[in-house]
A and B are shown apart, each in its own frame.
Chain A
Amino acid sequence: MTTPETAEALTTQDGKPLKAALRSALRREKLRALMLIAPLLFFVVVTFVAPIVDMLFRSVENGIVSETLPKTVVALQEWDQSTGETPGEPVYVALYEDLVVAVDEKTHTRLGSRLNYEQSGISSLFRKTGRRIKRMDEDTPFKEQFIAADKKWGEVEVWQVLKQYSPTITPGYYLNAVDAELTPEGARMKDEDDRIYMFLFGRTLFLSIVITVSCLILGYPIAFLLASLPLRTSNLLMILVLLPFWTSLLVRTSAWKVLLQQQGVINDFLVWTRLIDDAGRLVMINNQTGTIIAMTHILLPFMILPLYSVMKTISPSYVRAAKSLGANDWTAFWRVYFPQSVPGIGAGAILVFILSIGYYITPELVGGTSGIFISNRIAYHISSSLNWGLAAALGTLLLVAVLLLFVVYDKIVGIDNVKLG
């Protein structure tokens, strides 16, 4: 009885076309799923994505110059900074007018601190001038009066910095983060002596690799033992691995200080056993050695746990089979067992490496000056020098470096080869 037309337009019981009904059912399903993850999505956006976006913005934001010295910024546009001559009287007049307002609002010191990041000495210049500004006479030329207040106002470099940092968006922080600076001729590298950030990035990478490798060397046998021992013994061993893991980071770091210092437990023991004499006590803390030892200890569980969970899944019958076919212990391990544990190594290594690259408390406490990471510099700029722009730029570079390494890692090892269990 049914014609082809009615067959095409299949409907549900209440007369809706079947296709539309299916679509709306699917949409409902999706919406319900979205509702379920909505709290998490909201949480992640608010606490993770938003701060990162804010950080990216802060690393280029530079409104303070034009906000504090609006007239000077306009007057400076006329000035050609490549002539090597200081600007004319109108600029000094504008500067005077701006500074009178700024000193009243006490914003000139903040501007001085900001520009001091670019050229050391400007902070004191603004502070000094701020104290003199009320005594300036409106009838005599301001250029002379400013130079009398501080001869730096007669130097071209100061005006060049002011002009270069007039725009509200600046590449200055990123240039600083890679040891370069902005000059009238464009960006160029700083003097050899003033370069520190690339060096610190390099040191951070190097130390993180050393820490990852030593975690692997120490962690692999333990994980192997954990996976192959009978459950009762391995549980006990597991507690020994987890106990330090549950202990506060600060407690463990301080414990290393007690152990490693020159009058510490280890040195005392070595002197007592006559391995070293009292004058030749080893220096193991407040340097790179301290950082490597303490961080290896702290990050070791992050290597052992993924390794263990992967090794647990490797059936012992493979090794037995290899042996029954004539392989000796080493060949059976190297050709049969080890390849199967590689995903665990991959997971552990990447976990330890990424954690250590961003570490800062432990290096701060035991690293002295030679064992600190780039993150210690970021922390310094956030909490002490308050150069948040530079901290944001350094943080962004660190983020990019981690992402790049992740891509390289994916190309070489393959991210699907990483297994956490």
Chain B
Amino acid sequence: MKLKTLILAGTALAFTGSSALAIDLTLVSWGGAYQASQKNAYTDPYMAENPDVTVIWDESSPEAVAKLRAMNEAGNITWDLVDVEAADAIRLCDEGLAMEVDHDQLLAAAPDGTSASDDFGDMIVSDCFIPQIVFSTTFGYRTDKVPDGVEPPTSACDVFDLEKYPGKRALNKQPIANMEWALLCDGVPYEDVYSTLETEEGVARAFAKLDTIKDETIWWSASAEPVQLLADGEIFMGSAYNGRLFSLIEEQKQPVGMAWDWQMFDLDGWIIPAGLPEDRLAAVSKLVNYATDTQRLADQAKFISYGPARASSAPLVSTHETLGIEMAPHMPTDPNNAENTFVNNYEWWADYRDDLDAQFQAWLAK
């Protein structure tokens, strides 16, 4: 009798606990300092205002495309909002895995009344893409390991110079960015990089260049890895996202410098997986509207050195939340950093990513 009452009471409690009001949203991002900035700027204040919403974080963005394809195949979408690079957003949109959104309807207008689509402007590269930040893949190096009497590295091309800068390297375990740098540093002019990569000889040339440092390279797949390798002193030089390097240098005070030349400029933002049920879609739309308004995007720049993707946020970017330093000089767009910027052609990558991924992984396995 007693047990039965207990069970009944328990079930009743469980039902009230999961009443129609409370909702769990699964957000997918890249982990580490970047995800922390999103948590600080968007979801923590949002959850304080909306106690019925609980945000659960997943760090699967590096394999978001593969996992969304698999979820689609299995017919069970468990994610509500996914942070991806622009090229992946285009791919997912083409494949019908990301929901097409009406930017003006979904996103908040700027404080002065400019519509969202005008405020985001060119950053809206696909109907499914909800822009958030601009970022760069740059190189970090150990300042204490630069050989005596040698200038510290300044450019992405220095990663290929084993004689001047001996030591291990770290590169992203995917073709994007690596292939462009390889060709660029092998003498291909900036404008011809992508047309060269479309040919078999061009791909072979890029691999030949990468072959010269293959034995000295540790390949990373999680974006927190290269930063860890730099902090451990395991590598001399490695590619990493500029915001991660900022955290390493300014927050953790490691002896690391940045080589900004030929930084790889890219966009990052949200996509909503296609096929969400009504209630989750409504909840996620509300959250997205909040997280991408002018103030929130500017807030994110208090925690990490990525530039907000909407024009009206830029003037609001000021100083770091805890360190109090001016953030503007650490942004990829700062004139001192952006002398030579490689603008990632995300549309090209959306088309060619599958082809080059296959070749790149085969090259790695050899």
- A374's nearest neighbour on chain B, judged by CB, is B365
Chain-A contact segment, one of B241-249, B256-264, B350-358: B350-358
Select A194's contact among B94, B354, B355, B362, beta carbons within 8 Å.
Answer: B362
**A386–B350 Cα gap in the complex (Å)?**
17
Return chain B residues, CB-CB under 8 Å to A199.
366
Q: Mark B149-162, 1 if CB is under 8 A from A, else 0.
A: 00000000000000
**Is A372 a contact of B69 with CB atoms below 8 Å?**
no
Give Cα A372–Cα B73 distance, bound, in whole angstroms. Answer: 28
Name the segment of A107-115, A154-162, A331-339 touching the other chain: A107-115
Does B168 interact with chain A (Cβ within 8 Å)? Answer: yes
A380 to B365, CA, bound (A): 11
Which A residues touch B354, using CB under 8 A? 112-113, 116, 123-124
Contacting pair B168 A262 (CB below 8 A): yes
Interface residues of A in 124-149 (CB under 8 A from B): 124, 127-128, 130
With known contacts A263-B232, A385-B66, A377–B358 Cβ distance under 8 A: no
Question: What is the CA–CA distance of A368 and B218 in the complex, to the nearest angstrom?
Answer: 7
Asked if B234 and A261 sit within 8 Å, CB to CB, the answer is yes
> B8 at interface (Cβ–Cβ under 8 A)?
no
Within the complex, the shortest CB–CB distance from B19 to chain A, in Å, comes to 35
Verify A384–B355 contact, CB threshold 8 A: no
**CB-nearest residue of chain B to A195:** B366
CB neighbours of B218 from chain A (8 A): 286, 368
The distance in angstroms between the C-alpha atoms of A385 and B91, with both chains bound, is 14
B219 contacts chain A at the CB level, 8 A cutoff: yes
Whole-angstrom distance between the alpha carbons of A385 and B365 in the complex?
14
Contacting residue for A200 out of B70, B96, B214, B365, CB 8 A: B365
A385 to B362, CA, bound (A): 12
Select one of A109, A196, A262 contacting B365, CB under 8 A: A196
Task: Render B70-114 as a binary contact track against A, CB cut-off 8 A, 1 for contact.
Answer: 100100000000000000000100111000000000000000000
Taking a contact as CB atoms under 8 Å apart, the answer to whether B63 and A369 are in contact is: no
| C-alpha gap A120/B362 in the complex (Å) | 12
By the criterion CB–CB under 8 Å, are B69 and A386 in contact? yes
Q: Contact between B364 and A109 (Cβ–Cβ < 8 Å)?
A: no
The answer to whether A106 has its CB under 8 Å from any CB of chain B is: yes
B31 sits at the interface (CB 8 A):
no
A167 / chain B contacts, CB cutoff of 8 Å: none
Interface size grouping (class) on chain B: 20 to 34
Q: Chain B's interface: helix, strand, loop or mixed, by majority? A: helix
Contact A263 B233 (CB under 8 A): yes
Chain A residues 252-267 with CB under 8 Å of chain B are: 261-263
Query: Do A116 and B355 have beta carbons less than 8 Å apart?
Result: yes
Q: Is the CB of B364 within 8 A of A369?
A: yes
A117 CB-CB contact with B under 8 Å: yes
List the B side residues contacting A109 at CB < 8 Å: 91, 94-95
- A-B pairs under 8 A by CB, number: 72
Chain A CB count within 10 A is highest, among B66, B67, B96, B354, for: B354
Q: State the CA gap A130–B90 with chains docked (Å).
A: 13
Smallest CB separation, A111 vs chain B (Å): 11
Chain B residues with Cβ below 8 Å from A286 are 218
CA gap between A196 and B69 in the complex, in Å: 26
Q: Known contacts A123-B354, A128-B351; is A369 also within 8 Å of B361 by CB?
A: no
Q: In the complex, what residue of chain B is closest to A113 when comparing beta carbons?
A: B354
* Complexed CA–CA distance, A127 and B365 (Å): 27
**Contact A385 to B358, CB < 8 A, known contacts A368-B218, A377-B365:** yes
Task: Knowing A116-B354, A385-B361, say if A106 contacts B219 (CB, 8 Å).
Answer: no
Q: How far is the CB of A164 from chain B (nearest CB, A)?
A: 18
CA distance A130 to B351 in the complex (A): 11
Q: Is the CB of A116 within 8 A of B358?
A: yes
Binary contact track B337-366/A, C-beta < 8 Å → 1, others 0: 000000000000011101101110110111
B73: nearest residue on chain A (CB-CB)?
A386
**What CA separation (Å) do A116 and B359 show in the bound complex?**
11
Q: Would you give the 0/1 interface string for A17-57, flagging 1 where the beta carbon is closer than 8 Å to chain B?
A: 00000000000000000000000000000000000000000
Determine whether the beta carbon of A127 is less than 8 Å from that of B359: no
Known A116-B355, A286-B218; contact A380-B361, beta-carbon cutoff 8 A: yes
Cβ of A121 within 8 Å of any chain B Cβ, yes or no, is: yes
Residue A233, interface by CB 8 Å: no
Q: Which residues of A contact B63 (CB under 8 A)?
A: 383-384
- Residue in contact with A130 in the complex, picked from B94, B352, B358, CB distance below 8 Å: B94
Q: A106-B95, A200-B365, A262-B168 are in contact. Are A117 and B234 (CB under 8 A)?
A: no
Task: Point out the residues of chain B lying under 8 angstroms from A106, CB to CB.
Answer: 94-96
- B357 pairs with A110, CB closer than 8 A: no
A112: chain B residues within 8 A (beta carbon): 354
Known: A127-B351, A261-B234, A263-B234. A196 touches B359 (CB 8 A): no
Give, as a whole number of angstroms, the nearest-CB distance from B223 to chain A.
Answer: 16
CA separation between A116 and B351, bound complex, in Å?
A: 12
Task: Select from chain B the residue with minimum beta-carbon distance to A124.
Answer: B351
A71 to B168, CA, bound (A): 54
Whether A261 touches B232, Cβ cut-off 8 Å, given contacts A109-B95, A127-B351, A385-B361, is yes
A125 to chain B, nearest CB (A): 9
Distance A110 CA – B92 CA, assembled complex (angstroms): 11
For the complex, give the distance between the alpha carbons of A120 and B91 in Å. 17
Residue of A nearest to B362 (CB): A196
Contacts of B91 in A (CB 8 A): 109
Measured in the bound complex, the distance between the Cα atoms of B67 and A196 in whole Å is 25
Instruction: Please give, as numbers and ranges, the residues of chain A lying within 8 Å of B69 by CB-CB distance.
Output: 386
Query: Can you name the residue of chain B whose Cβ is closest to the Cβ of A286?
Result: B218
Q: How far is the CA of A175 from the CA of B138 in the complex (A)?
A: 41
Tell me the smallest distance from the CB of B100 to a CB of chain A, in Å.
11
Expressed in whole angstroms, the Cα–Cα distance for A113 and B219 within the complex equals 25
Given known pairs A261-B232, A286-B218, A383-B66, the reply for A123 and B355 (CB within 8 Å) is: yes
Within 8 Å by CB of B95, from A110, A200, A380, lies A110
Not counting A368-B219, A369-B365, A386-B69, a sample of 12 additional A-B residue pairs whose C-beta atoms are within 8 angstroms of each other reads A105-B96, A113-B354, A123-B355, A124-B351, A124-B355, A128-B351, A130-B94, A200-B365, A263-B233, A380-B361, A383-B66, A386-B70
Interface residues of A (CB under 8 A from B): 105-106, 109-110, 112-113, 116-117, 120-124, 127-128, 130, 193-194, 196, 199-200, 261-263, 286, 368-369, 372, 377, 380, 383-386
7 tightest Cβ-Cβ pairs between the two chains A and B: A106-B96, A123-B354, A124-B351, A263-B233, A109-B95, A120-B355, A124-B352
